[in-house]
Chain A
Amino acid sequence: MWRYVLKRALLAVSIIFSISLITFLILNVLPGDPVAMMLGEFADANKIREVRHNMGLDLPLWQQYLQWITNLLRGDFGSSYFQKKPVLFLILQAFQYTSYLAAMAYIIALIIGLFMGIIAAVNHGSWLDRFLMSISVLGISAPSFWVAILLQIYIGLKFKIFPVSGVQTSIGYVLPAIALGTRYAASISRVTRASMMEVMGQDFIRTAYAKGLAPFRIVMVHIFRNALIPVITIIGADIGSLLTGSMITENVFNIPGIGKLLIDAINRRDIPLVQGGVIYVAAVCVIIYFIVDVLYAVVNPNIRFGEK
């Protein structure tokens, strides 16, 4: 077990390093002078040279990368060019909102998705099943920012209960969380339905019915519990896209999360903040994948013994 964890941990660390290299290359090697972009078109050459020197951009690339990565390891993400604050401070502050929104969205998605999936599986083949599954196809195909705007128009502005902008109170999270959660609710309902159907065909379920157990008990205890494993499996895969998806929803609802921070940084050409934000979110995703991997191994011995 510990061998497996160690192996996975090493892999996660090397993936994070590779991603940091890719991030660095994307933002530093590709055409366009970041400083000239940052200072705007009217900056004079001397100023550009000075800023380049201050930021260490006149050093050879590999030195810049080494410097950046050693600073990162010490927890120094540099400081934002415009906000004049440490990048890490800004990111951590914003990330609270993002992770809160993502967690809310996923809880809503789980509740709706599991409920829809169970109803559809129990009534499979009926019009209700077809109706629920058509809705889930719609949910998977709709972009979250569009759902967000529809929610603003048809719920936020109509009923005046949920604010359409900002999160001064936690009720402000409701609409963004629904908008972000829709697509996950849809995919969870499909997976739940499929895996419930698979369990339903098995012998022990027939036995349970034959014993005369209450149908509700059979569905919830016998079928649902056994159908949960594939559902848990997709949670891990969803987390990365959940965090980045949250970044877009934040922009619609004006939530000061990491998405808003990054987009503002991109629009102001604030390189240190963009670079720090990208590597931070990517690293969080990789670490979560790692944790999920280890948890699977704990739950499912096949995985850890399957690995050499």
Chain B
Amino acid sequence: MTKSMTLKLDSFGKEIVKIDKPHGYYYESFRIFRKNKVAMVSMGVLILLILLAIAAPLITSFDPDKQVLSERLLSPGVKGHLFGTDEFGRDIFTRCIYGCRISLSVGIISQLIASVIGYLMGVSAGYFGKRADDVISFLIQVFSSIPFLLFAMALMYALGSGLLNLYLSLGLLSWANTARLIRGQVLTLKQQEYIQACIVNGGSSTRIIFKHLLPNCIPMLIITNTLGIPSAILTEASLSFLGLGVPSPTASWGAMISSAQTYIRTNTYYSLFPGLFIIASVMAFNMLGDGLRDALDPKLHK
């Protein structure tokens, strides 16, 4: 942290002492993060993917769902189709780009839901203790023993396929890890003087939970959230591959790979491209998460 003093005289001849404020925690974290090349590159890849998802209609002139039966199963590069076309004559590049929308939004939103549930569960267990802790700790154990993909399948089956249901079911299934970590964090924070002081001063539980504990848990939430996204993306791809993800005409990487299965003898490239998009996004989130974990670790701050 940098501190510097500047001495100046104001118009009345009095000394003005100016002390630069020490840089905050997040500024320090950002400084460390910026030096991490791998993390910066993955951040770049992710920004690119997000831009592709948002600006999809501007980048490609093809309609992702429009069937052109005269141009079925073209090879990459033929007739302006960068990655070729699928069995309904739809441009594969266009569908890959539109697939970003599904995968990224499922990854990000489902993990946001998981973070909210995980924070509320973890903080209630750690802060209130006693019976609440017993019940929530048990729930955490139950939800971490549940085979993730299996119950995602069951939930998607019961709720029916659809984007909103994907957000919900993946979110509902992946809060346990966050809750466990937050609980541990809150147990330590609760012992600290400023929280004790707030309790003694009669601060309400809501105030303590949201005003004092939450800001201290944000770094951990950022990390678990980012590291949860890749597994959510992979699960979404698996669900769509099995036909339990988004409904049929919508472009999704998993579903594209599933339909490419029929054409492995003739169109080898068809299954290749959506898979590369999955790998790129999953890898980028994984490495971004690792970078954030290093950057947000207060022990590494100077």
Q: Interface of A with B (CB < 8 Å)?
A: 11, 14-15, 18-19, 22-23, 26-27, 30-32, 137-138, 140-143, 145-146, 149-150, 152-153, 157, 164, 240-241, 243-245, 247-248, 251-252, 262-263, 266-267, 274, 278, 281-282, 285-286, 289
Do B146 and A27 touch across chains, with their CB atoms under 8 A apart? no
Query: Contacts of A140 on B, CB cut-off 8 Å?
Result: 282, 286
* Chain A CB within 8 A of B234 CB: yes
Interface residues in B133-152 (C-beta closer than 8 Å to A): 138, 141-142, 145-151
The answer to whether residues A247 and B241 also contact, given A26-B158, A149-B260, A153-B271 and a CB cut-off of 8 A, is: no
Does B82 reach chain A (CB closer than 8 Å)? no
B49 at the interface (CB under 8 A from A): no
A22 vs B149: C-alpha distance in the bound complex, in angstroms? 15
Report how far A31 CA is from B168 CA in the complex, Å.
Answer: 14
Do B153 and A266 have beta carbons less than 8 Å apart? yes
When the two chains form their complex, are residues B243 and A285 in contact, meaning their CB atoms are under 8 A apart?
A: no
Contacting residue for A143 out of B146, B272, B275, CB 8 A: B275
B285 (CB) vs chain A CBs: closest residue: A141
Residues of B within 8 A of A266 (CB): 153, 157, 244
A-B contact pairs, 13 of them (CB 8 A): A11-B141, A32-B158, A137-B287, A138-B283, A141-B286, A143-B238, A149-B257, A241-B148, A244-B147, A263-B242, A263-B243, A274-B157, A282-B147
B278 CB contact (under 8 Å) in A22, A146, A240: A146
The answer to whether B230 has its CB under 8 Å from any CB of chain A is: yes
Q: How far is the CA of A266 from the CA of B150 in the complex (A)?
A: 12
When chains A and B are docked, how far (Å) is the Cα of A240 from the Cα of B147?
6
Instruction: For A154, give the chain B residue with the smallest CB separation.
Output: B268
Q: Indicate if B18 sits at the interface (CB-CB under 8 A).
A: no
- Residues of B participating in the A interface, judged by any CB pair closer than 8 Å: 138, 141-142, 145-151, 153-155, 157-160, 230, 234, 237-238, 241-244, 254, 257-258, 260-261, 264-265, 268, 271-272, 274-275, 278-279, 282-283, 286-287
Among the interface residues B148, B151, B254, B287, which one has the most CB atoms of the partner chain A within 10 A?
B151
B147 & A241 in contact (Cβ 8 Å cutoff): yes
From A15, A32, A138, A145, B238 is in contact (CB under 8 Å) with A145
Inter-chain contact B155/A26, CB cutoff 8 Å: yes
Known: A27-B154, A240-B147, A278-B154. A143 touches B237 (CB 8 A): yes
Report the Cα distance A19→B161, complex, angstroms. Answer: 23
B147-A243 in contact (CB<8A) = yes
**CB neighbours of B234 from chain A (8 A):** 143
Contact A152 B264 (CB under 8 A): yes
**A267 cross-chain contacts in B, Cβ below 8 A:** 243
Mostly, the B contact residues are helix
Which residues of A are found within 8 Å of B286, using beta-carbon distances?
137, 140-141
Give A57 to B142 CA distance when docked, in angstroms: 27
Known A-B contacts A23-B154, A26-B158, A143-B254; A240 and B283 likewise in contact (beta carbons under 8 Å): no
How many angstroms between the C-alpha atoms of A248 and B287 in the bound complex? 26
Task: Given A18-B138, A145-B254, A282-B150, output 13 extra A-B contacts at Cβ < 8 Å.
Answer: A26-B151, A26-B158, A138-B279, A142-B278, A143-B278, A146-B274, A149-B271, A241-B148, A244-B149, A252-B261, A262-B150, A282-B146, A282-B151
CA A152 – CA B272 in complex, angstroms? Answer: 12
From B141, B265, B271, B287, give the contact of A15 (CB < 8 A): B141
Cα-based distance from A150 to B271 in the complex (angstroms): 8
Contact among B145, B151, B279 for A142, CB-based, below 8 A: B279
Q: Are A19 and B142 in contact (CB under 8 A)?
A: yes
Query: A247: which of B150, B230, B261 is its contact (CB, 8 Å)?
Result: B150
Q: In the complex, A251 Cα to B286 Cα: how many Å?
A: 27
Closest CB in chain A relative to B76 CB, distance in Å: 15
* Chain B minimum-CB-distance residue to A23: B154
User: In whole angstroms, how far apart are the Cα atoms of A150 and B268 in the complex?
Assistant: 9
Are B283 and A141 touching (Cβ within 8 A)? yes
Quick check: B257 and A157 within 8 Å, CB to CB? no
B241 contact from A14, A244, A245, A248, Cβ within 8 A: A248
CB neighbours of B282 from chain A (8 A): 140-142
Task: Give the complex CA separation of A262 and B153 in angstroms.
Answer: 9
Given A23-B154, A138-B283, A278-B154, A15–B147 Cβ distance below 8 Å?
A: no
Distance between Cα atoms of A267 and B161 in the complex (Å):
12
Give chain B nearest CB distance to A251 CB in angstroms. Answer: 7
Q: Smallest CB-CB separation from A142: which chain B residue?
A: B279
Q: Report whether B238 and A248 are in contact in the complex, using a CB–CB cutoff of 8 Å.
A: yes
B149: chain A residues at CB < 8 Å are 241, 244-245, 247-248
In the complex, the answer to whether B158 meets A30 with C-beta atoms within 8 Å is yes
Find chain A residues with CB under 8 A from B145 CB: 15, 19, 240, 282, 285-286, 289
Which residues of chain A are within 8 angstroms of B160 by Cβ–Cβ distance?
32
Knowing A278-B151, A285-B145, say if A149 contacts B238 (CB, 8 Å): no
Output the nearest chain B residue to A288 by Cβ-Cβ distance. Answer: B145
Contact B254 A153 (CB under 8 A): no
Check if A274 sits within 8 Å of B154, measured CB to CB: yes
Q: Lowest 10 CB-CB distances: which A-B pairs, in order?
A: A146-B275, A141-B282, A30-B158, A244-B149, A141-B283, A18-B142, A244-B147, A149-B271, A141-B279, A244-B150
